[in-house]
Chain A
Amino acid sequence: MNLTLRIWRQPGPGAKGRMVPYRVTGVSPDMSFLEVLDMLNERLTLEGADPVAFDHDCREGICGACGVVIDGVAHGPQKATTTCQLHMRHFRDGDTVDVEPWRSRAFPVVKDLVVDRGALDRVIQAGGYVSAPTGSAPDAHALPVPKADADAAFEAATCIGCGACVAACPNGSAMLFTAAKVTHLGRLPQGQPERPSRVLDMVAAHDEAGFGGCTNTGECATVCPKGIPLETIGQLNHDYLRASRRPAGSRP
Chain B
Amino acid sequence: MAVSGVLLVLFLVAHMVGNLKVFVGAASFDHYAHWLRTLGAPLLPGSGYLWIQRTVLTAALVAHVWAATSLALRARAARPVRYAHRRPVRGGYAARTMRWGGVIILLFAVYHVLDLTTGHLNPVGDRAHPYGNVVADFAPQRWYVTLFYTLAVLAVGLHVRHGVFSAVRTLGQRTAAGERRARVAALAVSVGLCAGYLSVPFAVTVGLVG
Name A residues whose Cβ lies closer than 8 Å to a Cβ of B.
Answer: 6, 8, 19, 69, 71-73, 98, 100, 103-106, 109, 168, 170-173, 210-213, 215-219, 221-223, 229-235, 237-238, 241-242
Contacts and interface: CB of A to CB of B under 8 A. Distances in A.
Interface stretch (B82-90, B133-141, B191-199): B82-90
B87 A216 contact: no
25 contacts: A6-B84, A72-B83, A73-B87, A100-B85, A104-B78, A104-B79, A170-B91, A171-B74, A173-B75, A173-B78, A212-B74, A212-B79, A213-B74, A215-B166, A216-B95, A217-B91, A217-B95, A217-B96, A219-B89, A219-B91, A221-B90, A232-B174, A234-B175, A237-B174, A241-B171
Contacts, number: 112
Interface of B: 70-71, 74-75, 77-91, 95-96, 98, 162, 165-166, 169-176, 178-179
A69 B166 contact: no
Nearest to A235: B174
A212 B78 contact: yes
Nearest to A8: B84
A169 B46 CA distance: 50
Given A72-B85, A229-B176, A105 B77 contact: yes
A19 B82 CA distance: 12
Contacts of A237: 169-172, 174
Chain A CB within 10 Å, residue with most, of B79, B162, B176:
B79
In the complex, the 9 A-B pairs of residues with the closest C-beta atoms, listed nearest first: A172-B78, A238-B172, A217-B91, A234-B174, A72-B87, A212-B78, A171-B75, A98-B85, A216-B166
A231 B78 contact: no
A104 B75 CA distance: 10
A100 B82 CA distance: 10
B89 A212 contact: no
Contacts of A109: 81
Chain A CB within 10 Å, residue with most, of B70, B80, B81:
B81
A233 B168 CA distance: 11
A83 to B, nearest CB: 15
Contacts of A171: 71, 74-75, 78
A210 B83 contact: no
B90 A231 contact: no
Contacts of B172: 234, 237-238, 241-242
Contacts of A221: 90
A222 B85 CA distance: 18
A74 to B, nearest CB: 8
A170 B96 CA distance: 9
Given A105-B78, A212-B77, A234 B83 contact: no
Contacts of A238: 172-174
A217 B98 CA distance: 10
Chain A CB within 10 Å, residue with most, of B78, B95, B98, B170:
B78
A171 B170 CA distance: 16
A219 B176 CA distance: 16
Chain B CB within 10 Å, residue with most, of A19, A105, A230, A234:
A234
Given A105-B78, A216-B170, 9 more contacts: A103-B83, A172-B75, A212-B78, A219-B89, A222-B90, A231-B178, A234-B179, A237-B169, A241-B172
A171 B86 CA distance: 13
A211 B87 contact: no
Nearest to B91: A217
Contacts of B96: 170, 217
A233 B98 CA distance: 19
